[in-house]
């Protein structure tokens, strides 16, 4: 929904009907890989997430949590889209593949690496697992993936061709650097994930995102951890500057709804 802010700038308003966040260490992700806590009525084949990146696992977890919290009937999101924005996605799996290749040659690399560690793996896994048939794709995969996702989400929501859109943001609290045996070379870093259900018919009392093309140099740069904290703080408004151009604002209530 396009709105005009008090400062006369055009914004895209995206009501958040529900959301969920998660933070997990690599050991916790290993447990979630076996049981991601899917909503009632959904099941996964054994080993379905065995080759998935940690960010894919936690992305599925937060969408499942958001769905389960409202107990929506199975199939109610079948036409929704999924937009996943992972940060430095597939780094762990790629590192392991290179180590295995140097040791065992081509036979040391799993054929599952490409489908599970490519950019669209997280959105595709969510779509397949939860039966969503709207468009699904990954965004960027680089350090500014989450910020770029807001700009693309604003475009998709403005077109009004879907009943709703899941925006899933994932990354690590500290940059994950490859070390021995697929572990982080630094201190243990936590994986973060946020799932936002965006739909134009959301209640006006719900939180809302506003994306504007205008830059505001007074705002802090967007960070995933800062966004997670803002969702849980329930204060009135938070704003961040997006890389290259634009501003994203989170309001605890839909001011223009």
The model's pTM is 0.84
What residue ranges define each of the domains in the chain, with the CATH number in brackets?
Answer: 2-251 (3.40.47.10)
Mean pLDDT, the chain cut into blocks of 10 residues (257 residues total): 51 90 90 90 86 92 88 72 88 69 72 77 92 90 84 87 92 70 61 90 73 79 88 82 83 56
Contact 157/198 with Cβ under 8 angstroms? Answer: yes
How far, in Å, CA of 209 to CA of 252, rounded?
A: 9
Question: Shortest CA distance to 1 belongs to which of 203, 205, 155?
Answer: 155
Taking the C-alpha atoms of residue 148 and residue 144, their distance in angstroms, rounded to an integer, is 6
Q: Are 58 and 193 in contact (CB under 8 A)?
A: yes
């Amino acid at each position: 929904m396009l709105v005009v802010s008090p400062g006369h700038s055009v914004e895209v308003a995206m009501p958040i009907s529900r959301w969920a966040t998660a933070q997990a260490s690599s050991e916790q992700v290993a447990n979630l890989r076996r049981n991601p806590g899917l909503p009632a009525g959904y099941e996964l084949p054994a080993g379905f997430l065995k080759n998935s990146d940690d960010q894919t696992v936690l992305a599925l977890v937060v969408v499942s949590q958001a769905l389960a919290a409202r107990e929506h009937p199975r199939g109610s999101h079948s036409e929704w889209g999924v937009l996943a924005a992972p940060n430095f996605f597939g780094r762990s799996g790629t590192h392991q593949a290179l180590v295995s290749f140097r040791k065992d040659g081509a036979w040391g690399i799993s054929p599952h690496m490409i489908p599970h560690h490519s950019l669209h793996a997280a959105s595709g896994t969510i779509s397949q697992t939860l039966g969503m048939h709207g468009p699904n794709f990954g965004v960027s995969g680089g350090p500014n993936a989450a910020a770029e996702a807001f700009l693309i989400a604003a475009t998709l929501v403005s077109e009004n061709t879907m009943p709703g859109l899941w925006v899933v943001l994932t990354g690590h609290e500290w940059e994950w650097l490859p070390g021995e045996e697929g572990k982080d070379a630094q201190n243990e870093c936590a994986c973060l994930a946020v799932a936002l259900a965006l739909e134009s018919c959301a209640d006006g009392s719900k939180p809302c995102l506003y994306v504007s093309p205008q830059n505001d140099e007074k705002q802090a740069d967007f960070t995933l951890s800062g966004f997670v904290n803002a969702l849980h703080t329930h204060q009135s408004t938070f704003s961040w500057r997006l890389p290259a151009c634009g501003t994203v604002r989170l309001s605890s209530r839909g001011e223009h709804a």
